[in-house]
Every structure is written in structure tokens, then in C-alpha cells.
Structure 1
């Protein structure tokens, strides 16, 4: 039976007792601990030992990072220490990271950051008793400022670490079980949507049959009109799919530009003054972007594609064409959807 492998990353000698305790703890959970100083890492004859550690990180499902007072050895051929690069490898592989830092180091890190603001000329020259290299504080900042999985917790002794990891791993297990339930619910919802889509198509076909039966002479004309209205009504929804909203900052539908005065859907949006086109030139190619006021942007395509109307977005353009052709009252009711309701 496959079991999770847990990579334990830290400087070895100053944290040896902590590493031993963690190894025992991981085993009691039923997982496999991986420690470089225990011979758990395969040292390939064709690779440096530092790179072998990074290769081993990629084979693990969990990563425990312990930051103590020693910086450790520099990684051969890479910036930072061996521990730094083991952590970066875990982040690159999206391996769940559980970061712990000695409380004395964590306290000095706070002092370091305070000095950095108040004494910018001297903060790096100050001696911090808990560390042997000021780069440790930079590493703590790297972990804290990561956009994801950036929790970092201080510890006084192993009991603090054990309590923290038990809670975190229990939470992870709960998350995995809850995700299974969410996936099951999503599958049920998707099946219902598929069933509703089929039912809607059947209803559409039935309406067409009834129209042809009731008024054969004008049936096709009425069917085309229904199709046109349905397509026009899809315009706000298609826009919301692209920009997360279809509302504009106007309070009166009569203030909106007339769609019939604009050839393309994005021209209409620009005329509302809530959208703007920007251009970016890379290697001589100009790319156009459509931005809304919420800073959401959409890549339209190259400038030449925009000029030749070959940018795609056929569905929303088709809906916009339908909006221009429907009855004025229907068009007004559709445009009213662009006004924020109060």
C-alpha cells in the first residue's frame, strides 16, 4: 500500500534532536520520513549530492521546513543554502509545506524588521544572538511572502511542533474528504444541467412543431424571430463570462450608447466609457487588450487582427448583431440589464 513520504528539511547538526523526534513522529502517523542525514536520499553517481536532495524532494508528498539559527551550507551552483533550495523545489512542485521556525529566531526576525524600518543604515550590522547569518531572516521573509502556502509558525520545543502538525494534517484529511463530497455534488449538478439542456432543446423543437402546425404560413418567420430574441438576450451573459460582470456605471438606460451605431461589440463597450483598449508592443507585434473599470482585461488579439475583424469572439459578436436587429422595446429591456439595480 502506498503511503505519503514526508521530506524533513533543515540544517542537520544544530537541529539533530528535533529531526530525530520528527522522524519518530512521522513514523507513528504511518507515513515515511525522508531525511538526508539518514541515508533516505539516493545519491546518484552522476549528480552532486545537493542536486540529489532536490530530486528526492520531488518524490515526496509532504514537506516539513524547520528554520533554526544556522544558515547551513551554500548550494553548489544555486543561490542560497541547501535548505533554501529544498524549500523552493517543494514550492515549484506544489508540495504542501509546513514551515516552523525556532521562537528565538522568530523573535529576532521581528526585531530585525523593526530595525530595518527605523535604522536602515545599521540594521544589517547589528548582531542578532539567535542566528549565525542574517540571510536566515531573508529566507523567513521569502516563506512568509509566498503567494500560497505561506504559513509559518514558531516553536519552543518538539511538543509545539507535534501539536501543530497533528492539527494541520487532520485539517488536510478533512479537506480531502470534503473535496470528495464537493466533487460528487458537482457531478450531480453537471448531470442535472445536461438533463435541463436536453429538456430545453426538446421544448424548443416542440414549440417549433406547434408553430408550424398552428400557422404554417408564418411559422418560419416566427421561429426566426424567437431565435433572434434568444440570441440577443444572451449578450449580457456572454459579457459577464468575459469580465465577471455586465454592469456599467450609468444609472439610466437612455444614457447607454445605441448598439446600432457600432459595428463591433467592443466598440459598443468602449462607447459606454467603462471600457478602454490598450496596446502592448513585443518584438514588433502590437497586441490589443480590452479593460473594464475593475482592471479585468481581455486579450483581443493583434492590431492587424482587430483591423481585419479576425480576432474571433464570434458568439458574442453574433449576439451583438442580434441585439441590433430586435424590436426596439426588446432591445431596451435587454440594455436595462446593464444598469446596476438599486
Structure 2
């Protein structure tokens, strides 16, 4: 994932270097004009501003960081008479790029004060030549399109900023970690099968068999069974926060090419019932992952008191240790 960092450079040189390191250590690709080890693509046949815009257009996400300086205006260089950061923000919106927007807390305080007083002499952080910063904030704060994110976050120092950026990029970072693990072959693969034991409406007793087809053992496996229409519904509604939404079974560790099984009673309340069987486990290297299987149980329309049961592998997911402990300790 390519992330373009837009900010003034000279006053934020340390923050930009720290952000560049954070992104690289997280497996993300930083696009920064002032960092020699970033993936910024220099175009020798175009000027520096147009080169930045080309790199921005080729990025997947744009991060805007505002602090004290607005930057020189570009009107005399053939561009709109605004700063480079302002121009890059406008280009990101024009290109429908996702934008993460951060500002120094002192800038936010001055912005709120200026909105009330319109008196630049009362400002403590922003100088008169840098009032253009307020124009960027004002443009971003307006909700002009339901698909545009107009949220912003304030920070007091680089630690605050990196922590917030890590939170906002958590999904992308965990996906990269998961992809790296899968490619390394250091993860089990747990596939679930079933055997129907008995059915007396509305109760179904089923034997679930968890097979490890990977080349690594699954340590401390825990199975959660949750009723939902889609797996995304489980995530969006934080089903695992309420223990009443799922049932838990703890298994012994599963070696490669071995299996573990258990009996599970399920209530069939509708003609078409969808459950998700999620097996959480630890790897030898300490990561926590899960393999998710979709269980579809449909009442037969041909034969009374008969069921059509299908299992299908859904996904592998990266899990935080905190989430695993909460589920495992139910």
C-alpha cells in the first residue's frame, strides 16, 4: 500500500523521518519527497511540484500533516496561488483519494480562536503569513460529499501522531502482517468439517471436525460459533464483546495433518440459518490468527424434518492478543 505524506518539510523534518520509519517497519510504502529511502519517484522531465502531484496520483492513500507553516504560494510558478501542501490536499480530493488529516493541537486552538474573533493578532502559534492553514482546515471540515472523510485528529508531538496513525492504519498493517505470515508458510490452516449426529426440531446436534492442513501446529485453539448473516456483521457489531452472542469450545493443540473434534448443539430457528465457525489459535512465533468457516443450514423444502448443511471456508484473520484473551477467557 502506497501512502503519500503531504506536509511542509523544513519545520517537520523529524516527524516526517519518524513517520517514514513507522510506515516502513509496518510493511507499508511511504511516498515522501524528502526521504531518500522512500519510494518517491523522481521525474526528471517535470518540475518538483508536478512530480509531487504525479506521485500523489499513484498513491493509495494521502496523509495530510499540518503544524505551524503554510508554505510558499505557487502562483508565480504557474499553479493555483496556494501552498504545495494545500495544492496536494486539493489534488487528493479531486482524485478521490482516501485522506487521513492531522493537525498540531496548537494549530487547532488557534483555528478555533480565529473562527470566533477573526483577529490574527490574538493567535499564539500561527503567524500572519501562515493563515492559509485555516483555509485547508476549513475546506476539509466541510462535509460536501457523503463519501469523503472530513474527520481530523490533533496531536501534540510525534509520539501522539504515530500512535494515531498506527490506529488509523491498523487494518492495512495487520493485512500486511497476515500476508507475510502466509507467504512464509509459518501458519497453520484449520478447515472445519461436520458429521450430523441427530436432529429433532429445533435442536441439531452436530460433530465438528477441525483439520490442520498446514505445516505448523495450532497452539491453544479456541472455537467460537456465532449466528450472523455475514461475517462482516460480526465485526461491525462487535459480536464478540457480548458472550451471549457466541458459544466457545477449547481444544487441545492441533499438529500438522491432525484433527480435533467436538459435539455442538445448534438451534435452528429459521428456514435458512447461517453460522460462522471461527477457530482462534497461536502460531509458534506468537501471532494470533483465526480461520473462519461459514456454516449454512437450510430446512429442506422437499422432505419434512430434513436439513441441507454446507460448510465453506471464509477467510483467515489476524487477531490481537487482547481480543484473543477476551474470547478465550469466556
TM tier relative to shorter chain: 0.3 to 0.5
Q: Which has the larger radius of gyration?
A: 1
**Structure 1 or 2: more helix by fraction:** 1
